[in-house]
Amino acid sequence: MKSGDRVVDVRGLRMRYGSRDVLDGVDLAVDAGEVVALLGPNGAGKTTTIEILEGFRTRSAGEVRVLGVDPDHGDETWRAALGVVLQSWRDHGRWRVRQLLDYQRSFYPPYRDRLPGTDEVLGLVGLTGQADARIATLSGGQRRRLDVAVGLVGLPDLLFLDEPTAGFDPAARQEFHDLVTRLSGVDGMAVLLTTHDLAEAERLADRILVLAGGRITAEGTAAGLAAEASAQTEVRYLLDGTSHVVSVADATEYVHRLFLDHGLAVRDLEVRRPRLEDVYLDLVRRWEGGAAARGESEVGV
């Protein structure tokens, strides 16, 4: 894949379960080399979207192209160009790490021109030292990295990560983030990940999409989304024993004037720009308000 190639192109995607439209006109695009995070409250349809793109679920309506192909008609060559991270290797507890990767890798040669060596993949995910360990002996974080390694053996053009760090402790999460950062430089590979962790989205994604109410309700970089949602920055300080909290459009100018007027009588200054979390919660609240007005009940962030 060349940088700038469109790897995912979705227009007007709909998914109906029974009489309920979970996806109600989703438009999204991912280009080669991008890391895109799909955020949304529980039940928003993130997994449904990913599974439609992976070809595991058939959509109700809409145009979907993944690597130029409709996932409902993807063949083996198409499938081999996708990295899908499943969590099924727990069943292979007695296998050794290298053995599982060699086995998975053996399926790709008819479909992929260039494959990384098993050792290269192990190095990429940080499991070189565990190559000969039995899968059952790996820690939770190491198993998740093994799941990703399996998704990578075919050197995919597009890697899907559905809630990759759910249940991780902070150290494992940090390691995993470093891994995804390394991966995003590999051969123009695109990564589409879902997460509930806003810090994770902010840290990893070139672009964030917020799925709520069956549609993409916001899209942009973390900083861009925050700036778009609110131009106001919160300034807090203590002056003559009284604490002040003000929302201002231009914090630099405000703080400059504050010091000109009061000098070092200003204490405990704090300048807080709106963060992705503020924007996200605001978007979800607005959607929940709309859902309540429509008489829908399900949602939890």
Ligand X SMILES: Nc1ncnc2c1ncn2[C@@H]1O[C@H](COP(=O)(O)OP(=O)(O)OP(=O)(O)O)[C@@H](O)[C@H]1O
Binding site for ligand X (CB under 6 A): 17, 22, 40, 42-48, 298
Nearer to ligand X, 44 or 198 (CB): 44
Nearer to ligand X, 113 or 298 (CB): 298
Nearer to ligand X, 21 or 206 (CB): 21
Closest separation in Å from C-beta 47 to ligand X: 3
Nearer to ligand X, 33 or 213 (CB): 213
Q: And the tokens for 177?
A: 């983030």
Q: Are 102 and 92 in contact (CB under 8 A)?
A: no
Q: Are 160 and 50 in contact (CB under 8 A)?
A: yes
Closest separation in Å from C-beta 88 to ligand X: 17
What DSSP line would sit under 97-118, residue for residue? HHHHHHHHHTTSTTT-S----H
Nearer to ligand X, 214 or 274 (CB): 214
Closest separation in Å from C-beta 24 to ligand X: 12
Cα angle vertex 132, ends 128, 138, to 5°? 80
36 vs 269: CA distance, rounded Å:
35
| Helix (H), strand (E) at residue 79 | helix 76-80
Beta strands 242-248 and 6-17: pairing type? Answer: unpaired
Nearer to ligand X, 88 or 297 (CB): 297
The dihedral through the CA atoms of 234, 237, 243, 249 has a sign that is negative
Closest separation in Å from C-beta 296 to ligand X: 10
204 vs 36: CA distance, rounded Å:
8
Closest separation in Å from C-beta 298 to ligand X: 6
Closest separation in Å from C-beta 41 to ligand X: 7
